[in-house]
Copies of this chain bind each other. A is one copy, B any other.
Amino acid sequence: MYFLAKRVGKYIVSEKLILMNPKFKSILSASQFTKSELSELLDLTSLIENKLQSRKQIPLLNEYILATMFFEPSTRTRLSFESAMHRLGGRVITAVGMQFSSMAKGETLFDTLKVLESYADICAIRHPVEGASALAAQTISIPVINAGDGAGEHPTQGLLDLYTIAHYKKLDEKPLNIGFVGDIKYGRTIHSLIQLLSHFDCHFTLISPKELQLDEKYISFLKKQKKEFLITEDLNKLSECDVAYVTRIQEERFIDHREFEKFHNYYIIDKEVVEKCKKDIIIMHPLPRLSEISTDVDDMPQAKYFHQAKNGLFTRMALLLYSLNINIK
């Protein structure tokens, strides 16, 4: 099975890494976590959020250096990591657009990483090619955090999404109906989040145009996990959900621009739609958004997408500590 294979694959990576540095843990895939590890991370994130209400810094990484190595641009993800490191008292060195430097002269990613590992204690890597972070974790002796690798994973986004849901809806208290709206086929944040949520008591309402439905391999995964799910094109089904996770239709996925035009305003979550939902629904979005959530929702208490972005800071602080095996107490 795809997920198990991936999990095993990633596990080998982790174990090889653990052998190299028994103290450290790389963050490569949403599938690498057990339920108890997830619970531990959620608790740690919550503790950090609480501590930051009365202070600006939790100085646990005072002498550490984080390298943010972004082989493709992603300003907000990069700044979220850098702010997280600063809030822990650490230092940051940054490489963006590295494709234009040594690698343009024909250097391999392996060599680039071997050199860069000397300069930092931990690194966050964004790369357009799937598996780049796993390669990094096998190559270098400092922990690696996958900050997005192409069509692959973006586990820190999945974890911050999970934390946001856990923050507003207690997990495992009663079953949660999680609604996904938009491009469910290509949205990698959805795929990561489904994997993470599969550890908890929830079922899924998957609302998308027929052409952008959940991929067969994820459907098999949900069946194997014995998770209920509803595949539908009907936005009205959102009224039964506890969470609405909305995604952008990604223009860059369509070869034929007329196809994109067809879908890009397919669902619009506006005030009227939200008012028909459960009163305590939370509206999430990984951002950036285009028109799929109207701005008249922004001031409604259900809108949580900007809080979600803020949770990225707490989550990444937790992951930095977790990777480096630094105890907060």
Binding site for B on A (CB under 8 A): 55-57, 62-65, 67, 73-76, 79-80, 82-83, 86-87, 91-95, 97-98, 100-103, 105-107, 110-112, 114-116, 118-121, 248, 251, 287-290, 295, 306, 309-310, 312-313
Contact = CB atoms under 8 A, between A and B. Distances in A.
Nearest to A120: B83
A80 B114 contact: no
Given A102-B288, A119-B313, A75 B95 contact: yes
Given A80-B119, A82-B93, A112-B288, 5 more contacts: A76-B112, A79-B93, A83-B119, A86-B91, A107-B287
Contact of A83 (B65, B106, B288): B65
B289 A107 contact: yes
Contacts of A62: 57
A105 B288 contact: yes
B313 A118 contact: yes
Given A76-B102, A83-B120, A290-B106, A114 B63 contact: no
Contact of A116 (B65, B79, B98, B100): B79
A290 B288 CA distance: 39
A126 to B, nearest CB: 11
A288 B74 contact: no
**A64, A91, A100, A309: which has the most chain B beta carbons within 10 Å?**
A91
Given A56-B63, A106-B288, A119-B313, A100 B73 contact: yes
A295 B119 CA distance: 22
Contacts of A83: 65, 93, 118-120
A290 B97 CA distance: 20
Contacts of A105: 248, 251, 288, 290
Contact of A119 (B79, B101, B115, B119): B79
Nearest to A311: B118
B75 A121 contact: no
Contacts of A95: 75, 79
Contacts of A288: 102-103, 105-107, 111-112
A68 B82 CA distance: 13
Contacts of A67: 79
Contacts of A100: 73
